[in-house]
Amino acid sequence: MEMETFFKASERGSSVSQECRAGLTTFLAMAYIIAVNPAILVHAGIPLNAAITATCIGSGLVTILMGLISNRPVALATGLGLDAIVAFTLPLITNNDWHTSMAIVFIEGIVILLLVFCGLREAIMDAIPVSLRHAISVGLGIFIAFIGLKNGGVIVPSPATFVTLNKITDPVFIVGVISVAVTLACYALKVKGALLIGIALAVIAGIPLGVTSLPTGFIAPLDFSTFGAPFMVDEEGTMGIVKALINPVCLVCAFSLLMSDFFDTMGTATAVAKAGDFLNEDGTVENISEILTVDSAAAALGGLFGASSITTFVESASGAADGGRTGLSAIVTGVLFILAALFAPIISVVSAASTCGALVLVGYLMISDTVEINWSDLSESFPAFATIIGIPLTFSISDGIGFGFISYIIVALITGNVKKIKPLMWVAGIMFVVYFFLL
């Protein structure tokens, strides 16, 4: 009863069992990060086992924190793309010192947390026009579906057309299609746990096809050697954070990471809120202050743990679509991440292809926001269009939002609607221009 009172599951049309199932769905949709992030971070010189421990423990702790503070089904993990910057870009600046690279991430997280405490991050979200809020949701829906189809081997790179349909005999394609078909069938028949069932059956189907790899072991050793990375000293006795603070180039990199984190979470929170039924009619997200606070702290903690920047994951929408309505589902996801630090070999059997159906269905559910956009008004519709195509085509939430912000200002200037632009939209637009020049 105390758990029910705290999380308000029945009040939100859910139950403890439903939240647990949704938390498992979210975890399975995100589990690929346990293998992918360490594989990327080793290029920065971080030991593999240490990267696995940092990824699992860091993601688990902040996700539990999110569940307790925001009471929303929002899960976090190391952000893809951000870890690639840590592995392949920052070493060129930090002379291959990954402690300094993690210090840059830590600094970015602290700054963005201060912006939240000052109210700036939430204020910018409030300044976003309603049409752009809905466009972000739609763009993310397409983006999520695109990720699902890519993971499922349904679409593959093409030198001639950028992307193309994969061969239908490809085992990964077959698993991806099975995942979509089972998920859609269960959803259409209103079977509870449709997304989870789709993932599970796709994992099983992948065994004879060679897509699902059987575990080579059961328990992985824990390695906490990356924890406290920004404050570790080099051979000369200098801490990584000191080297980052005295290097202007490092601070510019921190700004670039900040911009990506700042606006990625805005879009992701909208996506999860849409699927979890806590998005208001005007496009605002309930409990956004708590969500942004934990997300910002997570970025700093990611650098502190040596996991790279930890951020809100758009795959959280899969658990929300599977019935997650409270922070209990996030806590379940977080606990599973912590357990995965020990049982990583077993978790690795969940292939990216098996999550295809969950992500495609979530994308489908989010497309409905297109009807909320006023397509007859150019000053509203074109920026919305720029956002919708920008997010999936650049494979970046923040880049797509930047397209929308800048085009909104330009169209308003051209059409004589300058008064529509709120002061913080000007600030955000200028920040995006600077950000794009720094890319």
- DSSP string of 47-114, one letter each residue: -HHHHHHHHHHHHHHHHHHHHHHH-SS--EEEPTTHHHIIIIIHHHHHTT-HHHHHHHHHHHHHHHHH
Domain definitions of the chain by residue range = 13-369
Phi, psi of 313 (to 5 degrees): -100, 130
| Residue 103 CA neighbour count, 13 Å, CB half | 25
Res. 379: pLDDT tops 60: yes
Residue-level pLDDT at 380: 93
Residue-level pLDDT at 97: 93
Res. 306: pLDDT tops 60: yes
Tokens 């086992």, located at residue: 49
Task: State how far Cα 19 lies from the chain centre.
Answer: 20
What CA–CA distances, in Å, run from 41 to 26, 202, 386? 23, 28, 33
Distance CA(325)–CA(250), nearest Å, equals 40
Res. 90: pLDDT tops 80: yes
Strand partners, 312: 76
Mean local confidence (pLDDT), 232-240: 88
Tokens 């796709």, located at residue: 202
Distance CA(101)–CA(93), nearest Å, equals 9
What's the whole-number average pLDDT of the chain? 91
Res. 383: pLDDT tops 70: yes
Res. 330: pLDDT tops 60: yes
Decide which of 421 and 39 is more confident.
Answer: 421
CB 98 within 8 A of CB 44: yes
118-122, 146-150, 185-189, 295-299: which has the minimum mean pLDDT? 118-122
Decide which of 216 and 178 is more confident.
Answer: 178
Residue-level pLDDT at 6: 86
| pLDDT confidence tier of residue 189, bands split at 50, 70 and 90 | very high
Decide which of 296 and 3 is more confident.
Answer: 296
Tokens 């195509």, located at residue: 389
Is residue 45 classed as helix, strand or coil in its secondary structure?
coil
CB 37 within 8 A of CB 308: yes
CB 198 within 8 A of CB 183: yes
Residue-level pLDDT at 244: 95
Render pLDDT for 363-375 as a digit per residue (tens, 0 to 9).
Answer: 898 888 898 899 9
Model pTM score: 0.83
Residue-level pLDDT at 1: 52
Q: Which of 298, 350, 335, 373 is nearest to 139 (CA)?
A: 373
Q: What are the structure tokens assigned to 343, written together?
A: 């049982």
Render pLDDT for 285-305 as a digit per residue (tens, 0 to 9).
Answer: 999 999 999 999 999 999 999
Decide which of 381 and 36 is more confident.
Answer: 381
Mean local confidence (pLDDT), 143-162: 93
| Residue 172 CA neighbour count, 13 Å, CB half | 17
Percent residues over pLDDT 70 in the chain: 99
Mean local confidence (pLDDT), 154-169: 96
Distance CA(167)–CA(171), nearest Å, equals 9
Distance CA(303)–CA(102), nearest Å, equals 5
SS3 readout for 184-253:
HHHHHCCCCCHHHHHHHHHHHHHHHHCCCCCCCCCCCCCCCCCCCHHHCECCCCCEHHHHHHCCHHHHHH
Residue-level pLDDT at 344: 77
Residue-level pLDDT at 194: 87
Mean local confidence (pLDDT), 47-51: 89
Helix axes 356-366, 16-30, angle to 10 degrees: 110
Residue-level pLDDT at 376: 94
Residues in the chain: 439
Decide which of 81 and 98 is more confident.
Answer: 98
Residue-level pLDDT at 43: 85
Decide which of 194 and 153 is more confident.
Answer: 153
248: left (phi over 0), alpha (psi -120 to 50) or beta: alpha
